[in-house]
A and B are shown apart, each in its own frame.
Chain A
Amino acid sequence: MSTADRLEAPAIRQLNAVLAFDRAALEAQAALPRASHAAPLAGVNVAVKDNICTLELPTTCASRVLEGYRSPYEATAVSRLKSADALIVCKTNMDEFAMGSSTEHSAYGRVLHPLDPTRVPGGSSGGSAALVAAHVVDVALGSETGGSVRQPASFCGVVGVKPTYGRVSRYGLVAFGSSLDQIGVFARSVREAGQVVAVISGRDPNDATAADRDPLALERVPESLRGVTVGVPQEYYPPELHGAVRAGCERAIRTLHELGADVRPVTLPHTRLAIPTYYVISPAEASSNLARYDGVRYGRRATSEEPGVAALYRATRGNGFGPEVRRRIILGTYVLSAGYYEAYYAKALIARRLIADDFRRVFRQGVDLLFTPTTPTPAFRAGAKADDPVAMFLADVFTCPANLAGLPAMSIPIGRGDGLPIGGQLIAPAFAEASMLAAADVLAGSLDPAAEVR
C-alpha cells in the first residue's frame, strides 16, 4: 500500500491527524530524480507539523487566523529533508499555535489516539505522533516549546527527540516562545530519529539562534552502558505518580543497571518551579510573537462593526484565535504589563536560571544522562482536562524543565500499562545528543515496549 493510500484509508482519516495532503504533489515529489542513491533519507516518508513552513502545502498552525495560508518560503529543516531525498507527505494537526498538551485545541478538531479513540494522543504535536504510531509515515517533524514532541511520543508509544536549543534551525518554524522553541523528531526507532536529527541540524545563516556547529554526528551504538552514569532525579518520582508509569520506569532503571550503567539518585531541587516558570515565560513570549496576526499583511481578516483599525485588529484576533490561544495571549500580556512585570516575568527569569543551574550541577558532578518518566500518566481521556488549564499544564511537568534549560531530551517507549504506552525520558547536557541517542538505542534494544509493566 502506498503512503497516499494509507493516508486516505478510513481508519486513518478518522484520527484527524492530517490538515493538508496533496496526492499529486506527493507523486510529483516521488517522481523527481534522486539526488543520490546514497542520500541519507532516500524514500523516507515524512509528515510535518503544521507550524513548520512548507512550499507545497499550506501552513495554518491549526488556526483560523491562518486558514489556507501558504508560506512564501520553507523551513530550513524541510529543505534539508528534501535535499536528503526524504518525501514531504502531509501537514499534521496540532494544538493551535502549539499551545496545548492534548491536540484538542485545534481549530480543525481534535486528533484521536491511534490505540484508543476516546483518548488524546498528547500534544501539541499530536498529529505527527499519531501518524508515526499508526505506521502511516516513517518519521515526522514536530516542535517543542514545553514538551510537545516528547509528551505525545510517550502517549503514542513512539520515539520523540527534542534537540538542544539551537541545534536545529528555527527558520520557518512559526514562533511561539522564541527562547524555548525547537524542532523535534518522531520515529519508531531511536536510529531513525537520530538520522533525521543529523540531517536537519547544523548552522544556518537564516537563524541567529542556531548554534554555529556542524550537523549532529551519530555515534556507534555500544554493546553495553558500562562507563555511563545515569542520574535518577527523585523530584520526577512523586508519590502521586501513576502506578504503571512508576512500574515502567522501575523496570527501565533495572535494565539500565543490567546494561552496566552506574545508576545513582540525584536531586534537582527547583523542579517544582518549572511549570509555573514555563507558564509565565512562554505566554509572555507568545503574546509578543502572536502580535503579528492582525489581519493586515496576511492571514484571515475579520470585519468589525466598530470603526477604526484597532477594532479591525481586535475583531480579527478575537475571532481568529481559539480560546486557549487567547487565554495565553492575555496571560502573557498581563505578566509583561506595568505593575506585574517584576512580580511575574522578572521572577520567572530568576527561576529559569535556578532550574538550569540544577541541571548544570548534576552534569558537572559526573552524571552523563538523567532518566525520568516522560509524563506523569499514560494518555488521558479526551475532555478530561478541558475545563482546567492548570491540570492540562501539569501534563508537561517532566518535559518542560529541559526546554527551560535548553537541553536535549528524548522519550522512548518503555512498556505498557493497561494497553497504553508509557514513555521514559533521557535528558543530556547541551549538545550531547549523540551519546544520548546511543544510550537510548542500547536501552530500547533491551526493553520490550509492548510488555505490560504492572
Chain B
Amino acid sequence: MSRIDPAEVRRIARLAALAVADDELPALTEQLERILDYVSQIESVAEPAGPSFRPGPARAPLRRDQITRCKPPIQIEHFAPAMEDGLFVVPKLPAMDGE
C-alpha cells in the first residue's frame, strides 16, 4: 500500500504554501514515499514510563527584572521587498483562494 500519492503531495504542498510544478510531482511523491517507508520503523515504539525528554534547561532562565537599554529599532524598509508609507505591500487579501 502506498503511503502517499500525488494528490496528497499536492494538498500538503498547498498547506505548506509551496508551489510544486506538475512535472516535479511524480519524482517528489516517489521520494517522499521512500522516506516515509523508512521512517515508519518508529511506528512500533512503545511509550516507556517516566518523565519525557526535552533538551535544554528544564525552565527557561529568567532575566533580572531591571530596566535595560533597548536595541535600536530595525529599519524594516531596508529588508522588505515592497513597502509604502511604512506598510508592507502584498496582493489583495480577498483573493485568498478560498482557503
Report whether chain A binds chain B.
Answer: yes
Would you give the shortest CB distance from B68 to chain A, in whole angstroms?
A: 8
Grouping DSSP codes into helix (H, G, I), strand (E, B) and loop, the B interface class, with mixed when no group exceeds half, is: loop
Contact B35 A208 (CB under 8 A): no
Contact B88 A297 (CB under 8 A): yes
> Is A15 close to B, CB under 8 A?
no
The answer to whether A308 and B92 touch (CB under 8 A), given A330-B18, A350-B45, is yes
Contact with A along B48-65 (1 / 0, CB 8 A): 100011111100110100
Contact A356 B91 (CB under 8 A): no
Would you give the shortest CB distance from B27 to chain A, in whole angstroms?
A: 9
Would you give the shortest CB distance from B71 to chain A, in whole angstroms?
A: 7
* Bound Cα distance from A317 to B24, whole angstroms: 15
B interface bracket (residues with beta carbon within 8 Å of A): 35 or more
Scoring B20, B40, B74, B81 by chain A CB atoms within 10 A of each residue's CB, the highest score goes to B81
Contact residues, B68-94 vs A (CB, 8 A): 71, 74-76, 78-82, 88, 90-94
Contact B35 A352 (CB under 8 A): no
Contact B42 A73 (CB under 8 A): no
Contact A308 B56 (CB under 8 A): no
The answer to whether A209 and B56 touch (CB under 8 A), given A299-B81, A307-B95, A318-B20, is yes
> Is A448 close to B, CB under 8 A?
no
Enumerate chain B residues within 8 angstroms of A211, measured Cβ to Cβ: 56-57, 61
Contact B18 A314 (CB under 8 A): yes
Enumerate chain B residues within 8 angstroms of A389, measured Cβ to Cβ: 31, 34-35
Scoring A73, A276, A321, A332 by chain B CB atoms within 10 A of each residue's CB, the highest score goes to A276
- From the candidates B24, B39, B63, B81, name the one contacting A300 in the complex (CB within 8 A): B81
Enumerate chain A residues within 8 angstroms of B52, measured Cβ to Cβ: 349, 353
Contact residues, A367-398 vs B (CB, 8 A): 388-390, 393
Enumerate chain B residues within 8 angstroms of A251, measured Cβ to Cβ: none
The answer to whether A406 and B16 touch (CB under 8 A), given A308-B96, A310-B99, A344-B39, is no
* Bound Cα distance from A31 to B71, whole angstroms: 27
* Bound Cα distance from A154 to B20, whole angstroms: 36
6 nearest A-B residue pairs (beta carbon): A318-B19, A308-B95, A406-B55, A298-B79, A301-B81, A212-B61
A interface, CB within 8 angstroms of B = 69-70, 72-73, 165-166, 179-180, 203, 205, 208-212, 272-273, 275-277, 279-280, 287, 291, 294-301, 304, 306-315, 317-319, 321, 323, 326-327, 329-334, 337, 343-344, 347-354, 356-357, 388-390, 393, 405-406
